[in-house]
């Protein structure tokens, strides 16, 4: 009778260990390549070895040993050990899933859903952070404000869907043109902003000219019934932090004023 009880505990333990393998395999698929993934693979191998060992132990107990109540300590410990492994792997998988979900939700709250760059909410927050950091450490800071030239004409000529594609195309061009430290965000409508930490006015002007030429030389090709090439240009206004600037909002306003001057001078140009 005790043999059957011991074997039953061992068999339940092996079933629980088998269930523990599923969250481990899910974790292997979810975590990035590297040391952590290798550790979870090693964990799956250990669990598989434990399963084999438990089954062998169960066969030995059932066929060759006559155990007493004191001998049940081993299978009971086995059983609770397997339960601990299952709870640990399940909780680890749930934790990773929750972290990924929270990260995705956070990314969605700070990302413009159309263009795929940061939104206005994130821009306002980072603008004040970078302004405060620049003031605290005395480092330069510049802001570029871009506006697509004659965007209304693009919408009227090619349709609003094509206008959205132009915005998406522009966002990709900007992301491929800036540094990792730079922040590009949608300010509103077809106006975009680039915050360039540790960048002087001269450096910002060079960046703006490079971006302007890059956009001008990379038109958007719309594939459809009739393949169309939409050539968009941008006007860019630049402002750099000065001792008289009170906050990030004022710096953005100065960049907006510079953008207005670029438009007044004929568009497809840079003004500071």
Report d(CA 93, CA 95) in Å as an integer. 5
257 has catalytic annotation: no
Between the alpha carbon of residue 35 and those of residues 12, 31, 91, 94, 247, the distances in Å are: 32, 10, 20, 20, 44
d(CA 51, CA 46): 9
Q: Which residues lie closer than 8 Å to 92 by C-beta, 6 or more apart? A: 23, 27
How far apart CA 193 and CA 175 sit, in angstroms, is: 12
What tokens does 158 get?
Answer: 């090619």
Catalytic residue among 190, 191, 216, 257: 190
* Residue 242 DSSP class: -
- Kindly write down the DSSP assignment for every residue of 121-184, as one continuous string: HHHHHHHHHHHHHHHHHT--EEEEEEEETTHHHHHHHH-HHHHHHHHHHHHHHHHTTS-TT-EE
Reading the block at residue 172, the tokens are: 């990709």
Residues involved in catalysis: 190
């Amino acid at each position: 009778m005790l043999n059957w009880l011991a074997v039953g505990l061992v068999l339940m333990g092996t079933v629980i260990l088998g269930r523990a393998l599923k969250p481990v395999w899910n974790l292997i698929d979810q975590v990035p390549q590297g040391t952590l993934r290798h550790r979870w693979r090693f964990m799956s191998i250990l669990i598989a070895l434990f399963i084999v060992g438990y089954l062998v132990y169960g066969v030995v107990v059932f066929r060759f040993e006559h155990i007493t109540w004191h001998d049940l300590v081993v299978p009971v410990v086995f059983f609770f050990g397997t339960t601990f492994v299952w709870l640990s792997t399940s909780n680890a998988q749930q934790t990773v899933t929750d972290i990924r979900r929270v990260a995705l939700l956070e990314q969605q709250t700070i990302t413009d859903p159309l263009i795929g760059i940061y939104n206005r909410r994130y821009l306002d927050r980072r603008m004040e952070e970078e302004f405060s950091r620049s003031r605290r450490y005395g480092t330069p800071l510049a802001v570029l404000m871009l506006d697509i030239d004659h965007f209304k004409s693009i919408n009227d000529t090619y349709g609003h869907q094509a206008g959205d594609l132009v915005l998406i195309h522009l966002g990709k061009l900007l992301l491929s043109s800036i540094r990792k430290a730079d922040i590009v965000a949608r300010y509103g409508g077809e106006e975009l902003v680039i915050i360039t930490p540790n960048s002087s006015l001269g450096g910002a002007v060079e960046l703006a000219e490079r971006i302007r030429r890059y956009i001008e030389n990379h038109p958007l090709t719309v594939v459809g019934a009739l393949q169309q090439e939409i050539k968009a240009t941008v006007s860019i206004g630049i402002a750099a932090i000065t001792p008289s600037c009170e906050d990030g909002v004022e710096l953005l306003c100065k960049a907006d004023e510079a953008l207005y001057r670029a438009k007044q001078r004929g568009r497809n140009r840079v003004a500071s």
